[in-house]
Amino acid sequence: MPIVLSENFRALFYAPFYAACATGAFRDAGVEVILRPSPDPTAAAKALRSGEADVTWGGPLRVMIVHDSEPDADLVCFADVVARDPFFVIGARPRPNFRLADLATVRFATVSEVPTPWICLADDLRRAGVTPDRLDRLSGPTMAENAAAVRAGTLAAAQLFQPYAEQLIASGAGHLWYAAASRGLTAYTTLVTRRDTLHRRADDLFKMTSGLARTLRWFAATPSIEIARTLETYFPDVGEAIFAAAIDRYRALGLWATDPVIRRDGYDRLHAAMRAFGTLKRDIAYEACVDTALAARALTQN
């Protein structure tokens, strides 16, 4: 019986998930995984909870939010992939000595499509002594619109992920001010399932986790241009050179986990950002949202 994996939404920083499918890593581990597209993260979560999907990938942020409102919630993260924050602040002009406090002096745009990037950046700002609510911040337009505004010089800076960041940098229209991954571990994207599924289909999910562990090793060692060519059908509108450069930049930042064990440090950093932002009404224990048993076992057999 196959595992139905619900795609969160299409993004380049999710590349290892696509690579596990494209390279046959799941199949080689002995499990059939069917990738089911999802229009947005909310729909992916609904598919998981309704039983239409067995597993989804997504942020522990959403799992914590569910546990915050439903103390008996059964959602659990079980395999790490994106261990750091994949977003950048890209400016229209160079700022080689950029400090987060500089954002208090310009009009800049944050991500509107999903909540995690701004929640985490707001926490970085607080830790730097900046009050996020006092900034001249644009929060409505899409990343594509913000990237175009930076390119046109009508916006000082924008919070973006790849390939928008790489396209601006490569063209000379944008300059890297801040890479959020530099803050350190922040549990960003994991495999998520329900506790019942984790126990009922433990063998299949172990094989899936083992396939993912192999993929993470392959991803760390494979030339970026080969990765870009392997995954080109998932991102047909991204040029090969930009794709490869984006992979290289993310790898240099240590974006992707080296193994699927979800680290407590990364969870704690995300949890602290959510508490400071007011996203969570109470503390949510790591153990309530994370189960590392399958990932730890996969390390001993790969």
- Does residue 182 surpass a pLDDT of 80? yes
CATH classification at residue 279: 3.40.190.10
- 42: tokens are 């909310």
Boundary residue ending a domain (152, 183, 214) = 183
The pTM of the full predicted model, rounded to 2 decimals, is 0.95
Q: 231 near 15, Cβ under 8 Å?
A: yes
pLDDT of res. 128? 96
Is residue 189 within 8 Å of 277, Cβ to Cβ?
no
Q: Same domain for 9 and 96?
A: no
Starting at the earlier edge strand, list the strands of the sheet with 55-58: 33-36, 3-6, 55-58, 189-194, 75-82
Count: domains in the chain: 2
CA dihedral 40, 48, 180, 101 (to 10 degrees): 70
Q: What is the pLDDT of residue 42?
A: 74
Contacting residues for 260 by C-beta, under 8 A, at least 6 apart: 79, 80, 81, 191, 209, 212, 213, 216, 295, 298, 299
Same domain, 179 and 191: no
CB contact at 8 A, 252 and 272: no
Q: Same domain, yes or no, for 296 and 189?
A: yes
b (16+ CB within 10 A) / e for 131-169: ebeebebbeebebeebbbbbbeeebbbbbbbbbbbbbbb
Question: Looking at the predicted structure, is the pLDDT value of residue 44 above 80?
Answer: no
pLDDT at 302: 60
Residues 198 and 280 in one domain: yes
* Same domain flag for 80 and 95: no
Question: How many residues comprise the chain?
Answer: 302
Torsion angle of the four alpha carbons 177, 180, 184, 187, in this order, in degrees rounded to the nearest 10: -170
Residue 234, domain extent: 3-84+185-300
pLDDT tens-digit map of 233-282: 999 999 999 999 999 999 999 999 999 999 999 999 999 999 999 999 99
The residue out of 149, 183, 217 marking a domain boundary is: 183
Residues 127 and 252 in one domain: no
Asked if residues 8 and 188 have their Cβ atoms less than 8 Å apart, the reply is no
Q: Is the pLDDT of residue 34 over 70?
A: yes
CA distance 176 to 235: 23
**Can you tell me the mean pLDDT for 82-108?**
97
Mean pLDDT, residues 100-112: 96
For tokens 């659990």, what's the residue?
Answer: 76
| 125 and 221 share one domain | no
Final residue in a domain of this structure, among 158, 183, 208: 183
pLDDT at 90: 98
Whether the per-residue pLDDT at 40 is higher than 80: the answer is no
**Which is more confident, 89 or 41?**
89
pLDDT for res 47: 80
